[in-house]
Structures are given as C-alpha cells and as structure tokens.
Amino acid sequence: MTTYVLVHGAWHTGDLFEEVAAPIRAAGHTVHLPTIAGNRPGDAKSTGLAEAIASIVDYLAANDLSDVVLLGHSYGGMIITGVADAVPERIRRLIYWNAFVPNDGECLNDMVPPHYIALFDAMSAQSGDNSVALPYPIWREAFINDGDAELAQASYDRLNPHPYATFTDRISLKTNPAAMQVAKSYINATEDTALPQSLGWHPRLSEKLGLFRLVQTPGSHEMCFSNPAGLAQAIMAAGRD
C-alpha cells in the first residue's frame, strides 16, 4: 500500500483534506495531512516560501516518511516542487492537483494573471501583516463553482489569511521539475476556473513537468469540498504504479 502526503493550497489547512483522505485510507493506504508553515493556527503571516517548503521537509523527516506520494494543490505545487528538490530520496511520485509548477527563480505571481497580482498587492498593503484573503465573490464563482451557495459559504468560513511573501518569493531549485528523476502526475479538474481557462492549469503549467501522467476529472478548484470522494479516486489513479 502507498503512503500519501497531501499538501494543501493557499488559505487552507491540512485538516480540510480529511474528507478526501477517508476514502484513500479506506482503500488501505496511509494518508498524512500536514499544514504548511504560515497557515497553522497562530502562525505569523511573515512566513516566506523557503520557510514554508522547509516545514514540509521537516514533517517528512519528523515522521520518518519515505517512498512517499506527495500531492500539492494549487500553491501547494510550489511547496512539493521545493520538497522534491531538497529530499528527492524520500519521494516516490509527485502529484500536482491544479497546481503551480515553478522552475528555478520563478514565483507564484509569475504564473497568475495581472488582475490577481493587483488584487493581492492591494490586500496585502491593507492587511497590516502582509497577508492576503480571498474575496468571497471570487471564491464562489471561480473556485467552488460546482458547489451550491450553502457549501460555498460554509467552506469559505473555514479559510484563513495567507502569507503573501510565499506568492512573491522566488523559488531556488537545483533541478527544474522536468529534469527531476521522480515520477510525476497532474490532476486537472476540468471545470476549474480559479485561473482563466485561457491561462489555465493544463497544459500551460502541467507541460513544465516533462514526462507526466495526466488524470482529468470533472470538478472545480475546490473538489476537496464539493466532491471529496471523486477527488480521492483521481488521487489514487494519479498515485498508482
């Protein structure tokens, strides 16, 4: 059986993946749900990208995890890329679920449209702690467009402000993803409009992986809330040998 480590995206915590983890565990696999530094309760919002990546490297070490299938969602793609670069010996496969794929020297903001950067710049300036929140209308229409209004509001209420430096810090990699000697998969939720589909996740970002397995599934950017069982099946398809 497989050991999965599921790394959440911006504004989330690891416990928001519990409904996704349940079917994977029921299939006999082990699932870990860490929370990235900067998103844990009480964390300072001054956290940068290097510190965020290090928190997951440290989690793998503290739990003595190896032969891991490491998934990253959205911003989590930045994290798992850095983790795989730092400790490739611990990783069996990387799975990017509608996630950012950085090359050396890139930041997350290099991969989003200008209107998001303008919004995040303004919000971080107003926050007082360099954090950014996601406005509810964007969440409702672009992130969880496959859920009803009740689910959209309930899930939104579980989010937390995100440290903006992790979007603007440039990643430092010894090896770009396409050259990494680890198996890679990309899960593409086909109704995901968190990025405009003209600047979408697949193939614009997925093709930066070089050789990879593509798993497509109906759903939005937030299938962890709207269809956790369907997401679990996609993860197992992406993670199998």
Query: Residue 15: CB partners within 8 Å, gap ≥ 6?
Result: 33, 35
Give per-residue pLDDT as tens, 198-212: 999 999 999 999 999
Burial of 104 (0-12, 13-18, 19+ CB in 10 A): middle
For the chain, what is the mean pLDDT? 98
Indicate the length of the chain as a whole number: 241
Say what the pLDDT of residue 188 is.
98
- Could you report the per-residue pLDDT of 12-65, keeping only the tens digit for each? 999 999 999 999 999 999 999 999 999 999 999 999 999 999 999 999 999 999
pTM: predicted TM-score of the whole model, two decimal places = 0.98
22 is in which domain, residue-wise? 3-239
CATH number for the domain that contains residue 89: 3.40.50.1820
Instruction: Decide if 79 contacts 59 (C-beta within 8 A).
Output: no
Q: Are 206 and 188 in contact (CB under 8 A)?
A: yes
| pLDDT tens profile 70-90 | 999 999 999 999 999 999 999
C-alpha–C-alpha distance, residues 133 and 106, integer Å: 22
pLDDT tier, 125 (very low <50, low <70, confident <90, very high otherwise):
very high
- Residue 14 to residue 209: CA distance in whole angstroms: 25
Task: Quickly count: other Cβ atoms within 10 Å of residue 122's Cβ.
Answer: 11
| Tens digit of each residue's pLDDT (9 = 90 or more) over 129-186 | 999 999 999 999 999 999 999 999 999 999 999 999 999 999 999 999 999 999 999 9
pLDDT band at 92 (very low <50, low <70, confident <90, very high): very high
pLDDT of residue 182: 98
Looking at the structure of the chain, the number of domains it has is: 1
